[in-house]
Amino acid sequence: MSVKNPQVLEGVRGPREERTAKAAAPQVAGNDLIPATKRVYQSSMLKYQLQLTSPEDERLPNGRLVKGKPLRAVFVDGFLILDRKKDKETIEFLDSSDYNEAQGGNQFWDYQTVLDKVVEKRRSLAVETLSNPVDRAAIIAALQAEGIDFALPKPAASKGAGESAGA
């Protein structure tokens, strides 16, 4: 083995392109992007820090001064990911903060509400578009022209019409 040809250990690191592709790809599709054990907040700024507590310094019996460490919420790239069990105190402080959108602020908000709004908006637009027969026919024709083959369920017929047709 030489300096120019280092030993390669299998399974330790993959090619850089694969690692960056895995990191950039969404983990789960749909509305289940946030695991049940996590809580995600989004801020209106990329770098946002909120000091939640300001504990006083404590003097020990031997005269030593112990500085009180404040509890801070530091948003990285506009997001803060907290574990529901480990960061329970921080989550309670953030939920009751005056800067939270749910409390009337405009600095940060729970990201799950944003995802829920997006899914609801997409559903309402899909229902609105597909309820129009002309738009639905155009969409189906465009998809079939691309080679996407699918079968649509038949519309539910009313009970009176189905019984008279069968009689």
Q: Does residue 162 lie within any of the structural domains?
A: no
Write out the residue range of the structural domain in which residue 94 sits. 34-149
24 in any annotated domain: no
Structural domain contains residue 84: yes
CB burial of residue 90 (10 Å; 0-12, 13-18, 19+): buried
Number of domains in the chain: 1
Q: Answer yes or no: are the C-beta atoms of 80 and 52 closer than 8 Å.
A: no
* pLDDT for res 167: 42
Identify whether 38 is part of a domain.
yes
163, part of any domain: no
100 domain residue, yes or no: yes
Q: pLDDT at position 22, please?
A: 61
pLDDT attached to residue 53: 84
Per-10-residue mean pLDDT of the chain, 167 residues long, equals 65 61 54 81 89 86 88 89 91 89 86 90 85 83 79 63 48
CB atoms within 10 A of CB 64: 8
